[in-house]
Chains A and B, each alone.
Chain A
Amino acid sequence: MPLLETIGVKVRFGGNIALDDVSISVEAGSVTGLIGPNGAGKTTLFNTITGLQALTSGQILFNDKDVTKEPPHKRTRMGLARTFQRLELFTTLSVRDNIRVAGEIRNRWSLRTPKMDVNAETDRIISLVGLSDVADREVGEIPTGKARVVELARALMIQPTLVLLDEPASGQTEEETGQFGQLLRDLAGEGLGICLVEHDMSLVMQVCETIHVLDFGRMIASGSAESVRNNPTVIDAYLGAPESVG
C-alpha cells in the first residue's frame, strides 16, 4: 500500500489546465522522483497534495485516507511535510530558530507524549543535515543552497512520514549535492517516504527508485529510474539526448 496516492488529479486555472489526470504514488522508505520541464505542473501538484491549491477533480489519498478536502495543517498533522521551491523561510528568525519553531509548532498539535525535547532535536537535525556552521546566522544572510537545506531541516522537525522536496538541490555546489543525495538515501533508509522534484538529473538518477515524469500537466511516463532514463518520450520531452544527461 503506497503512503501517498493521487488519483486523476486535475487542476484548472481559468482556461489553462495545469494538471490533467495525474496519478502518482509514493512508497514509504523510498525516494520517488518527480521530473519534467519548467511549467510542467510539478509545484502545482505539490500544492494540491499539501492542500495549498484546490483541485478541480480527482482524489488524494494519504495513509489510505482521503484527504482531498482537508485543510493544509490537518494534512501536515497526519505526517506530511514539504519544502518550497520559492523559499518560504521565516526571514526574521535565525537559522536555528527557523528549525526550532517548527518543533515548537509540532509540539502544539502532536498528541504523542512525551513531547519532543525541541532544543535537543533542533541540535540533532542541524548536525544531521550539516548546518552547524550557519546555525546562528540570520536566515536571510546564508546562500540559497544552504537555505534550501534549512527548509528540509524544518520539514524534518515535525517528524513526518512523507516529505515533498521541491528542487532542494538548486543553488547547491556539486559537493553539497553529493552529501545531500547521501542524506536523502539515509532518511529513506530509516523509513521516511520522500518525493523529490529536481532538475539535477544526476541527483535524481542517484537517489530515486521510482520516477514520474510530467509534461504540460500530463504524466508522460513513470517507472523505475532505468526505464524512465531510456524512455524515448521522456528523452524527447525533457532529457534530450542521453549523453547530455547531467
Chain B
Amino acid sequence: MQTFLQYTILGLALGGAYFIAASGLVVTYTTSGIFNFAQGAIAMLAVFTYWQFRWGWGWPAPLALLMVLGILAPLLGAVLYQVVMKNLRGTSEVTKIIVSIGVMLGLQALATWVWNPTSSTPRQFQKFFGPNAFAHFGSLRVPWHIIISFIIAIAIAVGIRFLFVRTRSGVAMRAVVDDPELLQLNGGRPERLAMISWAGGSFLAALAGILIQPMIGSAMSAGALTLLVLDAFAAAMFGRLRSLPRTFMGALIIGLTTTYVVAYFPSKWTWSSSFRNSLPMIFLFIILLVLPQDRLRGATVLRLRERFRMPSVRTAWIAGLTMMIVVFCLKVIMAKTGVNTLTLALTFAIIALSLVLLTGFAGEINLAALSFGAIAVMVVYHFGISGTGTEARTTLWGILLAAVVTALVGALIALPALRLRGLYLALATMAFGVFISRMVLTERSEREIFGLKFTLFTSGQLAIPRPKIGPIDFNGEDAFLFLCAGLFVVIGIGMVYLRHSGYGRRLTAMKDSPAASATLGMSVVRLKLSIFMMSAAIAGIGGVMMAAQVGTVNSDRFDIFLSLALAMITVVGGIGYVSGALFAGIFLIAFIETLNLMLKKFAVDYSSLEAIFMFFISAVTVLPATIGITMGKNPSGAVSDIVEGMNKVKQSKPLMITVIGLEAAIWALTATEVITNWHFVILTFANLILVPMVGGKFLMARAMRGVPKPVPPELIGIDRPFTDEDLAAMDQALNLDGVVIPSSTTVREEPANASA
C-alpha cells in the first residue's frame, strides 16, 4: 500500500509535468497551426540555462527561475515565432514539420556546443528545496518537489481553460487558427496573438523541463531531455491537439503507467527499463490507432508556395549517365578516404530517396528512415551473410529479404496513420524510431522466446560485409562505390518513371487534394500503404548499403536525430526531386565531413588562429539546422534554385562551354597532381556556383544593352505610348478576343472603352 501510494503520487506529478509540456504544444498548435517539434528542445535548453544560473553561477533559485521562466523562455518563443514560424503561412504541412525539426536540432546542437557533454564534472540538477525536503503525511514521505509539480500542473490546467473560454484574448487565440483573415477584419491581430501563444508555449515547455529533470534523476543530457518531452506528444494526442481536459487525462495515464512499471515489474525482467522508456511511444502509437478518421478536407491553402517540376524520363537518363561519369572522374583523383566518404554519402542519398518517394510524391512523412535501415541491417546480419571472416559477403537474397521485411514493418507502422493526415504519420514514424532505438537496438543479450534463442542486436555491434551479387564481388572500395552510385541512379530513374505513370499521377492526386480524390472514387488506403511499403524498402536497402560501407555498425548509426537531420536536409535539397536526395547525402555526409576536415587542418596549420577555427568547427554542427530553418523562406528547396541557375547556363552556349571547359581543366590539373584535392574542391565550388552567377549577370547585361527596360503595365501609356502588342497582350489577359479596336491613338487614351 505504501509503495502504491508513493508511486501513485510520483506518477501524478510526472503526469502533471507531461501535461504542462503538452498544453504548451496544444496552445501553439491551436493558434499557429504549427506542431512544435522543438518543444522538447526548448525544455532542454531551459533546464541547462537554469542549471547554469542556479548551480553554475550559484544564483538563488527565485532569481534563476524568474530569469529562465519569466524572461528567457517567453523571449525565445516570441523570437522563434517572429523570425521563423511566421514565414510558414501558406506552406505545406511537410515544410512546417521540417522547420520546427530544424529548430529542434539547432537548439540541441547549440546546447551541446555551450555545455560540452564530455566535460569532466557531471552536472547535478536538484529538486526544489534540495534533495532532502519532504512533506510528511502520516507515514508517507513525499518530496516537496513532487507536490509542487502537481499543484502547478493543476493551476496551469485551470488557468489555460479560463484563458481560452473566458477571456477575450483567449477566444481570439482560438479564432486565429480558424480564420486569421476574418479575425483581422474584425479588429483582431492574429500575428501578435500567435506570437504571444508561442511565448506562452515556450514558457510551459521550460517549466515542464525544470520540473521533470530532477524527477528522472539522471545526469543532464541534451539528447535525452529533448526526447523526454517528446513523451508529452503522446499526451497531446490524447486530446487530439485540441481538448485540454483530455490532454490532462492522457498525461496522468502516461505518468502513472510509467511509475507503476518501475514499481511493479519484476526486477529480473531486464527489458523493463527499456520498456519504461519506450512506453509513451507505445501509447502514442495506440492512440493513433484509435483516433477517429480525419474529416476529409480540401487543400487548406489554395496554392502552396512549393513548386516542383518533374523532369522527363529522358532527362533522368541523361542525369543518371552524367552522374556515373562524374563519380568515375572523382574516383580517379580521390584518395581512399575520399572514396569512402563519397560512398557513404551515396548510401545516405539512397536512404533519402525513400523520403523523396514518400514525401515528395505522396505528401506523407517518415521521420525515422534510418530505423527502417536498422531493421534491414538486422535481417541481413541474421539471414543474409554467406562465408566467414574476410570471405564474408552479404548475399543478394539477404538484401531482398531485408527489403521485404522492412516493407512489411513499414506497412505495420503506416497502418494507424492511414486514415489520418500527414502530421500523424510523421508522429507515428517518430514514435517507431524512438521505440527502435530504446527497445530493439538495446537488445544486446540473448533471449529465449518459446524455446528459441535469439539476440536481436548482437553485442551492440553488427558487422555487415559488402555484398557479392552473382559472380560480381563488390568488396573493393571502387566496386562498392560504383554499386552504390548505380543503385542510386537505377532507383532514381525508376522513381521518375513511376512519377510519370498512372500510379504516380494517382499519388499526386492524393497529395494535391484528398477531398477531390475521394470524390473521384479513390480509396487512399491501399495507395498510401503501397507507397509507404515501397519507401520503407528503399530505406532498408540504403541502410544495408550504409552498414556495408561502415563495416561494423552500432546503434548510434541509426539514431533518431540522424533520421531527423536527413529528412530535414532532403526537404532543404528539394523533396520533390531525385536530386534533392543526392543533395542530402552529399551535404550531410561529404560536405560536413570535408568542411570539418578542412577546418581541423587549418587549425593545425595556422595554430595562432586555432580558437577561431575551433569555433567554426562547432558552428558547423549547427549549420544543417540553420539551413533547415530557412526553409520557410524558400519552400521549394535548394535544388530548385540550383536548377534555375543551371537553366541559365543551358540557355547560353558560351557560358556552358566556359563552365565545362574550366571544370575539365581543374580536373585534369588535379589528376596530374599539379594541384591538390583541396584546391579541386574549392575551385569546383567556385566554378559551378560563381561562374554561372557572374557570367549570367554579364551576359544578361550585354544582351540588355540597347534593349530598353521593360515598362511595368500600369505605366504603359504614361512612360511610353501604347503599341499594338501591348493591346493584344492586354486583350489576351482580359479574355477580350472578339473585341475589335480601331487602330488609332484616340482609343488608346481610354483603354477602358475596349471592354464596353
Which A positions have Cβ atoms within 8 angstroms of B? 50-54, 71-73, 76-77, 80-82, 84, 86-93, 97, 100-102, 104-106, 108-109, 118, 140, 143, 145, 154-155, 157-158, 173, 175
A92 touches B508 (CB 8 A): yes
Residues of chain B lying within 8 A (CB to CB) of residue A90: 508-509, 512-513, 516
| Separation of A89 and B522 alpha carbons in the complex (Å) | 15
- How many residue-residue contacts, CB under 8 A, span A and B? 98
B506 touches A158 (CB 8 A): no
A50 touches B519 (CB 8 A): yes
Residues of chain B lying within 8 A (CB to CB) of residue A154: 516, 520
A72 touches B518 (CB 8 A): yes
Of B303, B506, B735, the residue contacting A91 (CB under 8 A) is B303
Of B304, B308, B506, the residue contacting A101 (CB under 8 A) is B506
B52 at the interface (CB under 8 A from A): no
Shortest A139–chain B CB gap in Å is 9
B299 at the interface (CB under 8 A from A): yes
A173 touches B298 (CB 8 A): no
Interface hub of A89, A90, A154, A157 (most chain B Cβ within 10 A):
A90
Residues of chain B lying within 8 A (CB to CB) of residue A82: 519
A105 touches B509 (CB 8 A): yes
Shortest A163–chain B CB gap in Å is 10
A106 touches B520 (CB 8 A): yes
B742 at the interface (CB under 8 A from A): no
| Separation of A188 and B748 alpha carbons in the complex (Å) | 45
| Separation of A109 and B520 alpha carbons in the complex (Å) | 10
Of A54, A81, A86, A93, the residue contacting B520 (CB under 8 A) is A81
B508 touches A104 (CB 8 A): no
B302 at the interface (CB under 8 A from A): yes
Interface residues of B in 469-527 (CB under 8 A from A): 502, 505-506, 508-509, 511-513, 515-523
Contacts known (A77-B521, A91-B303); A52 close to B508, Cβ less than 8 A: no
Of chain A, the residue at the smallest CB distance from B513 is A88
Residues of chain A lying within 8 A (CB to CB) of residue B506: 101, 104-105, 108
Shortest B356–chain A CB gap in Å is 14
Shortest B491–chain A CB gap in Å is 21
B296 at the interface (CB under 8 A from A): yes
Of chain B, the residue at the smallest CB distance from A53 is B295
Interface size class of B (residues with CB under 8 A): 20 to 34
Of chain A, the residue at the smallest CB distance from B735 is A173
Of A80, A88, A104, A140, the residue contacting B505 (CB under 8 A) is A104
| Separation of A154 and B522 alpha carbons in the complex (Å) | 13
B515 touches A100 (CB 8 A): no
Of A71, A87, A105, A145, the residue contacting B302 (CB under 8 A) is A87
Of A52, A73, A175, the residue contacting B295 (CB under 8 A) is A52
Residues of chain A lying within 8 A (CB to CB) of residue B513: 88-91
Residues of chain A lying within 8 A (CB to CB) of residue B302: 86-87
Shortest B217–chain A CB gap in Å is 45
Residues of chain A lying within 8 A (CB to CB) of residue B296: 52, 72
Interface residues of B in 231-268 (CB under 8 A from A): none
Shortest A93–chain B CB gap in Å is 6
| Separation of A81 and B522 alpha carbons in the complex (Å) | 12
Shortest B165–chain A CB gap in Å is 13
A105 touches B521 (CB 8 A): yes
Residues of chain A lying within 8 A (CB to CB) of residue B515: 52, 72, 84, 88
Contact sample, A vs B, 16 pairs, CB 8 Å cutoff: A52-B515, A73-B520, A80-B519, A81-B520, A84-B298, A86-B302, A88-B515, A89-B516, A91-B303, A91-B304, A92-B307, A101-B502, A105-B520, A109-B523, A145-B735, A173-B735
Interface residues of B in 537-565 (CB under 8 A from A): none
Of chain B, the residue at the smallest CB distance from A77 is B521
Residues of chain A lying within 8 A (CB to CB) of residue B522: 73, 105, 108-109
Chain B, residues 83-104, CB within 8 Å of chain A (1/0): the string is: 0000000000000000000000
Residues of chain B lying within 8 A (CB to CB) of residue A52: 295-296, 515, 518-519
Residues of chain B lying within 8 A (CB to CB) of residue A88: 298-299, 513, 515-516
Residues of chain A lying within 8 A (CB to CB) of residue B516: 84, 88-90, 154
Shortest Cβ-Cβ A-B pairs, 5 listed: A76-B521, A88-B516, A72-B518, A90-B512, A101-B505
Residues of chain A lying within 8 A (CB to CB) of residue B517: 105
Interface hub of B308, B521, B522 (most chain A Cβ within 10 A):
B521
